Amino acid sequence: MTDLADLIPAGAVRIRAEVADWRSAVVAAGALLEEAGVADSAYTDAMVASVEEHGPYIVIAPGFALPHARPSDSVTRTGMSVLRLAHPVEFGHESNDPVEMVVALAAADSDQHQQALAQLAGVLADAEQRRRLFAARSEQSVRRGLRPRDAGAAPAGPPPATDPPSRGDDEGPTGADRAAGTGTETHLALTVCGNGLGTSLFLKNTLEQVLEDWGWTRYVNAEATDTISAKGRAKEAAFILTSGEIAKTLGDVGVPMEVIGDFTSKQEIDQALRRIYDV
């Protein structure tokens, strides 16, 4: 497993970067990956193209964006860069604009960076750590701000009973009902982004924390995926969590879908689960 600090090469942090708009912010973050030998310019172009195609789904928390693209030959090795903007810029996100911090991810595969993203999600979910990170004035202070603390956030509220989940409606069999089976099988939850390896992993991590708080980890299995795979597997799922932009791309897939604004917010996901399961 790879720690967050291990994926940020020396020099791949830029403080008080001057950028004109979201596109130049993504390009600047990509340039840091290029300078570190993590990826080439084609990967930076792919990150920009992903936002042009799917919208500002990479803005996953207030003031924070995670540009990324699919693994490709443009990526030499898995790595990340950090760009703190001198002046926040608009990405077009309904609730999380303007963006102050950009962390670009280049993944050589779908596995190595998962622990690092989980650590980053924990940092952003911690109000004090987030404040320190956004106020960082040097590469060293950024790296200190990215170190995870042992103490986790408290549950958003008292968890429901730990009985196997079931939908509370009378609309006939749904993906949740089929997944429930006899009450001993596991529901499938899909967290979805454009590429299935960046923002969707962030959302998956936070969902799993809420499920652990509820005592439901044995009942609900979360999987991060992309839009194409999600459309194909939707009928297998009990529910889908995603961003507003990706929800528009998916359309009506026949199972409950909840739009999450802040992918680091346990409270927001807790409330979504309560709506899905009527608890």
Work out the pLDDT band at 35, boundaries 50, 70, 90. Answer: very high
Question: Rounded to two decimals, what is the model's pTM?
Answer: 0.82
Q: What is the pLDDT of residues 106-124, one digit of tens each?
A: 988 766 677 778 788 888 8
Residue 90 and residue 98 in contact, taking contact as beta carbons nearer than 8 Å: yes
| Active site annotation includes 87 | no
Q: What is the pLDDT of residues 240-275, one digit of tens each?
A: 999 999 999 999 999 999 999 999 999 999 999 999
Write down the mean pLDDT value for the chain: 86
Assign 61 to helix, strand or coil: strand
Residue 51 and residue 45 in contact, taking contact as beta carbons nearer than 8 Å: no
Phi-psi region of 239 (alpha: psi -120 to 50; beta: other; left: phi over 0): beta
Alpha carbon of residue 145 to chain centroid: 19
Catalytic residue among 54, 68, 93, 187: 68
CA distances from 254 to 107, 144, 229, 232, 259 (A): 32, 44, 15, 11, 15
Higher pLDDT, 117 or 47: 47
